[in-house]
Homo-oligomer: A and B are copies of this chain.
């Protein structure tokens, strides 16, 4: 066999180029050629590794989801070892608010894809349901655990609270990205929300 390069690595490199381009100029500006230029490769190579543009977008979406998943787990791991459910929930909302460049890019891209998926059912139906749903399940488990610990008032419904948490953080993220809210303000609101879900304040924040 002739020389063989690491396709996975190459694909990741191009996906990152897509992400950078789209973060700068919007997903609509992420063309085959602009992505190739950003990645420093020829147009042909983008075609080679992802047959079609749909394939490229699909791969980029998966790439994005995996990246966010890793980020969220790293953030959890960085917490002081026996972290309370409340602290972990707070870590979640803090991670979800676009305050640094990376999370800003993630939120922008994810929302861009979500908007596309609203009218194009063929576009990667999977990540838009399974991705957030896994998060939602994690949160539900977390809140159920908090129930058992007595950290969460018993009249709060874990499943509803998880959905609500996802909704409020996503909404705040969009407000930040459209410039309606500063990241700081969004964090305040998110913290306020966590305070309302759990009872009175008692924990440190991260």
Using a CB–CB cutoff of 8 Å, the interface residues on chain A facing chain B are 23-29, 108, 111-112, 114-120, 125, 128-129, 132-133, 157, 160, 163-164, 166-172, 174-175, 177-181, 185, 188-189, 192-193, 196
Contacts and interface: CB of A to CB of B under 8 A. Distances in A.
Contacts of A128: 178-180
Number of copies: 2
Given A167-B172, A169-B171, A171-B167, A119 B129 contact: no
Nearest to A132: B180
Contacts of A189: 160, 163-164, 167
B112 A115 contact: yes
A25 B112 CA distance: 15
Provide the main secondary structure of the chain A interface.
helix
Given A26-B116, A26-B120, A28-B116, 7 more contacts: A111-B174, A115-B115, A118-B177, A128-B179, A163-B181, A163-B189, A196-B196
A195 B174 CA distance: 24
A119 B193 contact: no
A65 B193 CA distance: 28
